[in-house]
């Protein structure tokens, strides 16, 4: 069994690295790290893929920080998965043209699955990532303000025929809390949909959490706050990637 891939997260508001707690803009912590410098530091320790969320874009329903995406793409060889405010095909083109390898789509996919299915067919499941935010098994949209009756399983099932192969599932109640991930949730999803790569998001607090997820057969994990709070160091990530 291969080890789980660690994908560091960078969340952006007004061009700066931040972390939110449970998606609440009022519970925002700003970090001094320059976004591009942070990306370079991740690349230097062996990371190949980073997760970048344009929180200004998510709030305004239109990508807002694409110049930063361009700078990351020009300054590194990282594969960037980019989300936040992608509500139209025009926005999707802009994100890809700015240097993203993967585009994360959340609310549109949940509210208009037929539109996201079209994008999956057009751009390919290898580039389109479903961002599913979940509270007690149900999908949440609009910055986690509204819970739908749709379950994560129903959403994934409906998109499989169009080529869905990548899902980032964020457990809202764990996000930014540093209390550990919902291992059972992700293990069940990965077991049910073997052909889909699920990325664990929310609650990672230590390398022990990552080891547990890896042992359970999960394939990818996003780590954000734990890095900024020094619960997980860049050296820890480097050791993991070097199999030390």
Q: Quote the Cα angle for 213-103-66, to 5°.
A: 120
3-state secondary structure of 126: coil
Radius of gyration of the chain (CA): 16
Task: Please give the pLDDT value at position 144.
Answer: 67
What confidence tier does 174 reach under pLDDT thresholds 50, 70, 90?
A: confident
β-sheet bridge partners, residue 140 = 133, 147
Residue by residue, DSSP assigns 72-84 as: HHHH--PEEEEES
The beta strands (E) that lie in 87-143 are given as 102-105, 128-135, 138-141
Say which residue, 31 or 42, is predicted with more confidence.
42
3-state class of 218 per DSSP?
A: coil
For the entire predicted model, the pTM comes to: 0.93
Domain ranges of the chain: 5-241
Residues above pLDDT 90, as percent of the chain? 80
What per-residue confidence (pLDDT) applies to 243?
82
Domain range 5-241, its CATH number among 3.20.20.70, 2.60.40.420, 3.40.50.800, 3.40.50.300: 3.20.20.70
User: Would you say 168 and 202 are in contact if contact means Cβ atoms under 8 Å apart?
Assistant: no
Burial annotation 100-130 (CB, 10 A radius, 16+ → b, else e): bebbbbbbbbbbebeebbebbeebebebbbb
Average pLDDT over residues 90-117: 97
Q: Say how many CA atoms lie within 13 Å of 145 toward its Cβ.
A: 6
d(CA 96, CA 98): 5
The pLDDT, as a whole number, for residue 17 is: 86
Active site residues: 11, 133
pLDDT at 235 over 80: yes
Range from 10-14, 43-47, 69-73 carrying the lowest mean pLDDT: 10-14
Q: Is the pLDDT of residue 11 over 80?
A: yes
The per-residue pLDDT for 175 is: 74
Residue 100: pLDDT above 70?
Answer: yes
Give the C-alpha separation, 228 to 29, whole Å. 10
Contacts of 186 (CB under 8 A, 6+ apart): 169, 198, 200, 213, 216, 218
pLDDT digits (tens, 9 = 90+) for 48-82: 999 999 999 988 999 999 999 999 999 999 999 99
* C-alpha pair distances (Å), 67 with each of 4, 40, 62, 98, 236: 31, 16, 14, 7, 30
């Amino acid at each position: 069994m291969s080890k789980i891939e660690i994908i560091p997260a960078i969340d952006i508001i007004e061009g700066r690295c931040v972390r939110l707690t449970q998606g609440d803009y009022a519970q925002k912590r700003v970090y001094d790290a320059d976004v591009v410098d942070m990306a370079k530091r991740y690349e230097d320790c062996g990371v190949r893929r980073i997760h970048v969320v344009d929180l200004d874009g998510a709030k305004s329903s239109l990508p807002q920080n694409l110049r930063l995406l361009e700078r990351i793409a020009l300054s590194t060889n990282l594969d960037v998965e980019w989300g936040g405010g992608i509500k139209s095909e025009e926005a999707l083109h802009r994100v890809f043209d700015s240097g993203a390898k993967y585009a994360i789509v959340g609310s549109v996919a949940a509210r208009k699955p037929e539109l996201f299915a079209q994008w999956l067919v057009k751009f390919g499941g290898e580039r389109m990532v479903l961002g599913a935010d979940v509270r007690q098994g149900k999908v949440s949209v609009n910055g986690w303000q509204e819970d739908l009756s749709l379950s994560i399983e129903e959403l994934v099932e409906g998109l499989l025929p169009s080529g869905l192969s990548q899902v980032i599932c964020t457990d809202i109640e764990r996000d930014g809390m540093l209390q550990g991930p919902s291992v059972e949730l992700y293990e069940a999803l990965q077991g049910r949909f073997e052909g889909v790569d699920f990325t664990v998001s929310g609650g990672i607090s230590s390398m022990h959490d990552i080891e547990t997820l890896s042992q359970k057969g999960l394939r990818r994990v996003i780590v954000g706050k734990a890095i900024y709070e020094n619960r997980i160091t860049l050296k820890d990530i480097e050791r993991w990637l070097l199999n030390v």
